[in-house]
Amino acid sequence: MTLPGYEGQRALEMQWAFSNKKQSDYDTRVVDGDLTMTHPVREVRPAEITKETRSDREAVGKGHEFATDQWEVARSLGLARVVDGSSYILGWLVAFALGKVQSTQPDAVYAPNTWQHKCTFFDPDSEGTAQLPVTTIVEKVSAATALKRYLLSMALSSLTISGEGFEHLSASAEFIGSGKTEASTLNMPNQPSVSYLTSGNAVIKLGDAAEAITTRVRSWSVTIGNDPKEARGYFPSSGLYRGRLEVGVRSAVPALVVDLAADSDLLDDFLSNQELALEILCEGDISEGAVKHSIKFEFPNLLYSAMPIDEADGVYTYGVTFSEEGVLYKSGASPAPLVQITVVNKTASYLLASS
């Protein structure tokens, strides 16, 4: 049966595709053969195209105060994704958020299809560029040509990964693109088989001696910010579309809600300005051999910014808070100067250039 006048487009039929590869340069999209990845999302939030316009509304000499013309001067593109955290999607998000990946095989004999990815912030000096890695995402909102489109030059602006109780890890990502879209004829990939990671399997260590506090933790999060220089993307000859996206003042900040113990251990560290380390490890199913899907966050040098005491379910808690200034960069620190996030999954590589 056909509805009169039009056919409504069901939001549940939204599809998207992405790639573990980056664009070879800021303006050249990833080729179709590399757009092989997809993943379930929790919220339907199509990409948003925005325009910067100018008009003659405030110009005098027209005899009135109303606009008679308008001009588009710049265009941008934003995309948000909220997903349950499988090792598959977390590896992709963390790689593009931090920008530097070292991939190895933890067990090439018994786990030949399993890879470990150590991700850290890229160094613009050693890389010779402050340009964030960008990739192409395909979004299919409906069958209309304009609504199945390549979203070009997408970079991660911010990423938050969080855990609570026994739930799946949650990842919330914000992307920013050049503003350019193109109609796509890509055959959308099928949903992959993934291993979800849960906070219920997390092991958490915090303190000057990295004491295990796992059973006391109510919730935790890690937020990565790239603070991209959006306005600098437009320049003479760039036209309507952003022509670059450089990294700004970056940050990686953890936070936890922790039950009080009978002693004042964490509060003592806070009051004495004790420098400490944080490690969060979440393991999932066996990938191959004895190697498990996992994600591991390591902050070697932290200083508390606040330690408020609160109450939840009749039990006292600490709100363990760090600021950007309290996540310290120390060259030579192990495993990395600021933060290292390690993901184990079955994706062989990230951030290779698409051909």
The average pLDDT across 202-231 equals 91
Copy the structure tokens of residue 13: 């039929």
The average pLDDT across 147-176 equals 96
Residue 83: band (very low, low, confident or very high) from pLDDT cuts 50, 70, 90: very high
Residue 142: band (very low, low, confident or very high) from pLDDT cuts 50, 70, 90: confident
pLDDT at 44: 83
Residue 207: band (very low, low, confident or very high) from pLDDT cuts 50, 70, 90: confident
Nearest to 250 by CA among 342, 327, 139, 343: 327
- How far apart CA 90 and CA 169 sit, in angstroms, is 9
Residue 10 reports pLDDT greater than 90 = no
pLDDT at 257: 96
Q: Is the pTM of this model over 0.85?
A: yes
pLDDT > 90 fraction of the chain, expressed in percent and rounded: 88
Residues with Cβ within 8 Å of residue 147, at least 6 apart in sequence: 139, 140, 141
pLDDT > 70 fraction of the chain, expressed in percent and rounded: 98
Between the alpha carbon of residue 43 and those of residues 12, 25, 40, 50, 220, the distances in Å are 10, 30, 9, 20, 21
pLDDT at 185: 92
Residue 67 reports pLDDT greater than 70 = yes
pLDDT at 208: 67
pLDDT at 7: 78
Residue 210 reports pLDDT greater than 70 = no
Residue 120 reports pLDDT greater than 70 = yes
Min mean pLDDT across 43-47, 202-206, 326-330 is at 43-47
- How far apart CA 75 and CA 14 sit, in angstroms, is 24
